[in-house]
Amino acid sequence: MVIPADLKELYPFESKYMSIDAEQNRLHYVETGHGDEALVCVHGNPTWSFYFRNVLKHVQSVKRIIAFDHMGCGLSDNPKNYDFHLAQHIENLSALIEKLEVKKVHLLLHDWGGAIGCGWAVNNLDTVASITLSNTAAFHSNRIPFRISLCRIPFFGSWWIRKCNGFAWPATFMATYWGLDRIVKKGLLWPYRKHERRIAILKFVEDIPLSINHKSRPLIQEIESKLNKITVPTNIIWGQRDFCFDMTFFKKWLSIFPNSKTTVISDASHYVLEDAPLEYVNHVDKFLERL
Neighbours of 63 (CB within 10 A): 13
Please state the pTM of the whole predicted model.
Answer: 0.97
C-alpha span between 16 and 141 (Å, rounded): 36
Q: What is the CATH number of the domain that holds 220?
A: 3.40.50.1820
What is the number of domains present in the chain? 1
Residue type, 187: G
C-alpha span between 70 and 92 (Å, rounded): 8
Domain that holds residue 123: 5-290
CB 272 within 8 A of CB 134: yes
* pLDDT (tens place) for every residue of the chain, 291 residues total: 789 999 999 999 999 999 988 889 999 999 999 999 999 999 999 999 999 999 999 999 999 999 999 999 999 999 988 999 999 999 999 999 999 999 999 999 999 999 999 999 999 999 999 999 999 999 999 999 999 999 999 999 999 999 999 999 999 999 999 999 999 999 999 999 999 999 999 999 999 999 999 999 999 999 999 999 999 999 999 999 999 999 999 999 999 999 999 999 999 999 999 999 999 999 999 999 999
